[in-house]
Chains A and B, each alone.
Chain A
Amino acid sequence: MAEAVAKSRPMDLRIRLEPRLDEPPRWFPVVLSIAAIVVALIIGGIVIRAAGGDPLRSYAHIAKASFGSLGVLSDTIVKATPILLAALACSVAFRMRLWNIGAEGQFIMGAFGASAIVLGPVLPAETSRWIFIPVMALAGMAAGAAWGFIPGYLKAKLNVNEIISSLMLNYIAVAWVNFWIFAVWTEGGFQMSHTFPKAAWLPRLSDYAKSFPLFAGLTTHLGLLLGIIAAIILWIVIYRSRWGYEIRLIGDNPSAARYAGINIVRNTVLVMMVSGALAGLGGMSEVTGVVHRLQTSPINAGYGFTGIIVAWLAKLNPLVTIIVSILFGALILAGREIQPSGVPKMIQGIILVCLIASDFFLRYRVRVIRAASED
């Protein structure tokens, strides 16, 4: 690439690319990511314009509808919660270079597992909230982990491509949940279950409005706390534990890991199960914190796919994931109202493209030099 020389006018300067030999400064990746998002928004604006919309108004609308007041900020955080858990699921798998594209399906299965506790019914409706919530969380994580186990096991034992198998399981999860809500738990023939008893709802801030008047009408629920705790635990596991070191080593250099005696087969299955469990917890949080009934359409809204982008944007760092999730929560929350309706999805895609393109500048340095000095 060093030969990629472009002439620029009017001064006789040349732009030259050369490989970076040293680590870039710490601030550089952050600035680069922000620049990539700005470029993505510009490109997105051009497409919105081409489709007959007004990009500036769309973006202003997104900002106002997601951060404009305490109420909408709370709604933004509600949207960010499932994204956060799905992104954590993706980041732990991607860290080992396991491409779990099935967070979406694991998320849906998590919602199913948690709902089964109420709808089964496994626990009676009069059960205390403090028994309901942990049992539902465990059931959601178990269902997600089971859904993650399948591609993990197939990858580890039979060398089956996990990208395709985990993605196929997304479609199967949707059909599976549709079967249950249509054929077994249907509410009056509609494809949805009955509403869960209040004890199976995650507590919201507004539930405490009596003691804290500021919380009145705020929808942020306990799932946010679950997500933040999960992010902190995951950060400690990845960066401070022996197992985390194994995962990172397998991801960076599988043959070195093998020579070091790390069990790749076992770790592949385990990491896919942890990934599935995190996504499943996300599904549980969404179904018990927001939807309050099992229903496919609001649950398979693509949080698992957004999680992929968020994980990548956060450079697979669980703590950074929290912040990035909130930004994407804002995009999705506000995006519901802008036309054309595909805009948030498109912008997410363009952001990811710009982001991976920008990584190039982490490996190459752009230098502007005088033409004379080169000869």
Chain B
Amino acid sequence: MNFIDILQAGVASGTVLLFATVGELLAERSGVLNLGVEGMMLIGAMSAYSIGVRLDDPWLGVLVAMIVAGLLSQIHAFISIGLQADQVVSGLALTFVGTGVSLVLGEGLSKSGAVSLLPSWSVPGLSAIPFLGPIFFTNQSVLVYVGYLLIPLTWYFINRTRPGLHLRAVGEFPAAADALGINVFSMRYAYVFVGGMLAGLAGATISLAVSPGWFSELTTGGQGWIAVGLVIFAQWNPWRAAAGSYAFGALRRLILDIQGPTMLLGLRNPFYYEPRLGFFLQMIPYAFTIIVLVIGSRESMRKRIGAPAALGEPYIRGERGK
């Protein structure tokens, strides 16, 4: 078990969470809580893999996954923005629909043969940096590099551009944004769509790059929910979202790999000799999510950083805004 290898694989597996988390972050910044991430990721993973199997074109698979998941997200957008229904229930419903439709359309997909995966590259020069080079820039899937670009771009977009300012306005004070001529409804539809596309990309990252294949609901195994939790931990900041995602990715890899070697840090590896301890290892990511939520909410109470003020509230024109 090589520490650098685990971190390298952790970055790849953290990329899945990164896409999902950033997508949810954008939707929530516009004021729409979307609990359907798990369902959108599943439908993305299923459609990407399905296209990969049938047409043998992973790039087309990624594209289709993003579009399908984006379209699925519009169910939630229509119900919560257009019909002003409760966003929690609507998001849950989206997870049910996404999971169910993926299972129906993905029937028999797990038995299909190998697919060509997305290419992996090493970056010349950067990969030679000691320690960081092998972890971040050696033999990583192309989507991992897309993830690196996404973090600063999202931050810059939200905090330094005019559309980003509009996004924040819509999430914090939609009535004021509306009065300034910003179309609150279409902005929210658009950001839910972007969130859906990124969740679909996260799904495609699983099924075509990180752990290829279609294993029905186990393909995502609750990562969509972890992403929703990470957004709260990240306090709606892309940099913190990235840090959380990569940390979780590394944790997931560590749990998988720790049961392999007979020796651990010069001692007999308890996880190798006592496989029953593996069940407790399986709990760690989920327990860690709860711990991370506790840390996040304590910190935001202390620093008085809150969720976007209008998060979860449907905007109804003519009603008094907050």
Q: Please tell me if A34 contacts chain B, counting CB pairs below 8 Å.
A: no
Q: Is B3 an interface position by the 8 A CB rule?
A: no
Asked whether A158 and B85 contact (CB < 8 A) given A167-B222, A175-B279, A341-B107, the answer is no
Count chain A CB atoms within 10 A of each CB in B78, B105, B316 and give the residue with the most. B105
8 Å CB contact of A350 from B100, B216, B226: B100
Q: Taking the nearest CB of chain B, how far is it from the CB of A131, in angstroms?
A: 32
Does A345 interact with chain B (Cβ within 8 Å)? Answer: yes
Q: Does A324 contact B (CB under 8 A)?
A: no
Nearest CB of A to B168, in Å:
21
Considering only residues 135-174 of chain A, those with a C-beta below 8 Å from chain B are 154, 158-161, 163-165, 167-169, 171-172
Is B96 part of the binding interface, using a Cβ–Cβ cutoff of 8 Å?
yes
Is B16 interfacial (CB-CB < 8 Å)? no
Task: Indicate with 1 or 0, residue by residue over A48-83, a CB within 8 angstroms of chain B CB atoms.
Answer: 101100000000000000000000000000000000
Q: Is B268 an interface residue (CB 8 A)?
A: no
Task: Work out how many contacts link A and B, with CB atoms closer than 8 A.
Answer: 152
B286 close to A342 (CB less than 8 A):
no
B88: CB under 8 A from chain A?
yes
The answer to the question of B68 belonging to the interface, with a C-beta cut-off of 8 Å to chain A, is no
Q: Which residues of the other chain, B, contact A51 by a CB distance below 8 angstroms?
A: 104-105, 107
- Complexed CA–CA distance, A339 and B103 (Å): 11
List the A side residues contacting B88 at CB < 8 Å: 99, 163
Q: Which residue of A lies closest to B281 (CB)?
A: A175
B232 within 8 Å of A by Cβ? Answer: yes
Contact B85 A340, beta carbon cutoff 8 Å: no
How many chain-B residues does the 8 Å CB contact rule pick out?
51
Choose among B95, B104, B286 the residue that contacts A47 (Cβ–Cβ < 8 A).
B104
Cα A159 to Cα B103 in complex, Å, equals 35
A339 touches B92 (CB 8 A): no
Residue B135 lies at the interface, judged by CB distance under 8 Å to chain A:
no
Contacts of B39 in A (CB 8 A): 349
For residue B280, give the distance in angstroms from its CB to the closest CB of chain A.
Answer: 7
- Are the CB atoms of B97 and A353 closer together than 8 Å? yes
Question: Cβ of A159: which chain B residues have Cβ within 8 Å of it?
Answer: 297, 301
| A172 engages B287 (CB within 8 Å) | yes
Nearest residue, chain A, Cβ from B93? A352
Residue A308 is within 8 A (CB to CB) of chain B in the complex: yes
Known: A179-B280, A353-B97. A312 touches B290 (CB 8 A): no
Is residue B165 contacting chain A, with contact meaning CB distance below 8 A? Answer: no
Report A-chain residues with C-beta under 8 Å of the C-beta of B90: 353, 356
Q: Is the CB of A101 within 8 A of B287?
A: no
Compute how far the CA of A101 lies from the CA of B286 in the bound complex, rounded to whole angstroms. Answer: 14
Which of B89, B97, B107 has a CB less than 8 Å from the CB of A340? B107
Asked if B84 is an interface residue, CB under 8 A from chain A, the answer is yes
**Cβ A346 vs Cβ B103 within 8 A:** yes
CB neighbours (8 Å) of B105 from chain A are: 47, 50-51
Does residue A309 face the partner (Cβ distance < 8 Å to B)? yes
Task: Give A160 to B96 CA distance when docked, in angstroms.
Answer: 24
* Distance A47 CA – B94 CA, assembled complex (angstroms): 15
Interface size class of A (residues with CB under 8 A): 35 or more
Let me know if B101 and A346 touch, CB within 8 A: yes
Complex Cα–Cα for A163 and B311 (A): 15
Contacts A172-B283, A175-B279, A352-B89 given; indicate if A164 touches B103 (C-beta within 8 A): no
Contact B93 A154 (CB under 8 A): no
A254 to B95: give the CA distance in the assembly, Å: 28
Q: Is the CB of B100 within 8 A of A345?
A: yes
Query: Is A343 a contact partner of B104 (Cβ separation < 8 A)?
Result: yes
* Given known contacts A48-B104, A179-B279, A305 and B96 CB-to-CB distance under 8 angstroms: yes
B276 CB contacts on chain A under 8 angstroms: 179, 182-183
Distance in Å: Cβ of B112 to nearest Cβ of chain A: 15
A337 within 8 A of B: no
Partner of B283, one of A175, A312, A343, A344: A175
How far apart are the CA atoms of A39 and B163 in the complex, in Å?
38
Could you tell me the distance between the alpha carbons of A50 and B84 in the complex, rounded to whole angstroms? Answer: 30
A107 to chain B, nearest CB (A): 17
Distance in angstroms from B6 CB to nearest chain A CB is: 21
Question: Which residues of chain A come closer than 8 Å to B283, judged between CB atoms?
Answer: 171-172, 175-176
Contact of A356 with B86 in the complex, beta carbons under 8 Å = yes
CA distance A101 to B75 in the complex (A): 21
Check if B79 sits within 8 Å of A357, measured CB to CB.
yes
A360 at the interface (CB under 8 A from B): yes
Cβ contacts A to B, 22 pairs, < 8 Å: A51-B104, A154-B290, A154-B293, A158-B298, A160-B293, A161-B293, A164-B228, A167-B222, A167-B225, A168-B222, A169-B286, A172-B286, A175-B279, A175-B283, A308-B92, A346-B101, A348-B96, A349-B93, A352-B89, A352-B97, A356-B79, A356-B93
Nearest 10 A/B pairs, CB to CB? A342-B103, A346-B100, A349-B96, A183-B276, A349-B97, A179-B279, A340-B107, A352-B93, A345-B100, A168-B286
